[in-house]
Amino acid sequence: MLGVALWQGGARADEGTAAAGTKPDLVKQANAPISSILQVRLQDTYQPQFSDLDGEGNAVTLSITMPLPKHRLLPLPQLSLLTVPAAVSMPGSSTAFGDVRFLDIAVFQANDYAVWGVGPTFVFPTAGRRETGQGKWQAGPAAAVAFYPVKWLVGVLIQNPVSFAGDSDRKDVSVMTVQPFVNYQFGNGWFVRSQPQIVFNWRNGHQQLPLDLGAGRVFKIGRQDISCFVEPFWNITHDGPAPKYGFTIGISLLYPGFWGS
């Protein structure tokens, strides 16, 4: 979760616990696109059927959320997210590496239950095959806002990288991604979540609007905090070839005490 109030020793000790050794804020942090605790996330997204394409797709993604407390590098707290598409398969294509993405947000506290942030986002043309990347160096603005009253986490993350260099044979890129996120926790670590990524291409006007709804749990194995979830999705509108539906399975290793108290 975007949060300044959570820098004191990782997750804040709210009243009650979600499970033995699991605090409610840890559940929120585990489900935020970027959070103020160190996380190592592994996700697999399977797409069994596409529109206008024959075949199936799959993407295995490794991401690391690394927070920096204020004065560690800058006067403001920073939340960064490194996303590595380690194995991407498209219909009719072999599996290859994808384009690496990096996001860094400076965080501002609005009140006790709301924060916002702004910063840059980058895309690096590291794809191993033409089909799994865009072939362009990209940079652009990013912004986020989050509200986290009691059992809820609600917010949105917006990114718009724009190409400025790269393969001259590839089209220029300017794509805005709007990622609303909603999370509700039931207790004992259980939660439901939704994090669709709405895509709009400024160059050609194409868009993609998915719907998703997932469920999972935060729990401990020994001293290690872990979050797992399953999240089906459906593309209700899109332009051009796109997955008709699919599902994502994710597991995260959570380190709320990484920076100490």
CA distance 42 to 47: 17
Q: Is 73 exposed, middle or buried (0-12, 13-18, 19+ CB in 10 A)?
A: exposed
- pLDDT score of 17 more than 70: no
Burial annotation 191-228 (CB, 10 A radius, 16+ → b, else e): bbbbbbbbbbbeeeeeebbbebebebbbbeeeeebbbe
pLDDT tens by residue, 196-230: 999 999 998 899 999 999 999 999 999 999 999 99
Helices (H), 115-243: none
Q: Is residue 211 part of a domain?
A: yes
Residue 45, domain member (yes or no)? yes
> Using one digit for the tens of pLDDT, what is the confidence trace for 166-177?
898 899 999 999
- Average of per-residue pLDDT values in the chain: 87
| Structural domain contains residue 5 | no
pLDDT digits (tens, 9 = 90+) for 91-114: 877 899 999 999 999 999 888 889
Q: What is the predicted pLDDT for the residue at 130?
A: 87
For residue 181, the domain's CATH number is 2.40.160.40
Q: For the segment 64-89, what is each residue's pLDDT rounded down to a tens digit?
A: 999 887 767 777 889 999 999 999 98
Per the structure, the count of domains in the chain is 1
Picking from 160, 145, 128, 175, the residue whose alpha carbon sits closest to that of residue 33 is 145
Give the domain extent around 185: 24-255
Domain assignment present for 172: yes
pLDDT of residue 74: 73
Give me the pLDDT at residue 52, please.
Answer: 78
pTM of the prediction?
0.88
Query: What is d(CA 73, CA 103) in angstroms, rounded to the nearest whole number?
Result: 16
Please report the pLDDT score of residue 261 as a whole number: 46
> Does residue 22 surpass a pLDDT of 60?
no
Query: 11 lies in a domain?
Result: no
Q: Residues 50-67: what's their mean pLDDT?
A: 91
State percent of the chain over pLDDT 90. 67
* Residue 244, domain member (yes or no): yes
Residue 96 lies in a domain: yes
Q: Which of 33, 22, 227 is nearest to 144 (CA)?
A: 33
CA distance 146 to 158: 12
pLDDT band at 18 (very low <50, low <70, confident <90, very high): very low
The pLDDT value recorded for residue 239 is 84
What pLDDT was estimated at residue 150? 87
Residues 6+ apart with CB under 8 A from 69: 7, 77, 259
Q: Where are the beta strands (DSSP E) in the chain?
A: 38-51, 57-68, 78-89, 100-111, 114-124, 136-147, 152-159, 162-166, 175-187, 190-194, 198-201, 207-212, 214-221, 224-238, 242-255
**Least confident stretch, 13-17, 147-151, 243-247:** 13-17
By residue count, the chain amounts to 261
- Which pLDDT score is estimated for 21? 40
Show the tokens assigned to 83: 């996303």
The CA-based angle 193-141-131, given to 5 degrees, is 70
Q: For residue 179, is it within any domain?
A: yes
Assign 2 a pLDDT band (cuts: 50, 70, 90).
Answer: low
Would you give the distance in Å from CA 48 to the centre of its chain?
22
pLDDT value, residue 112:
84
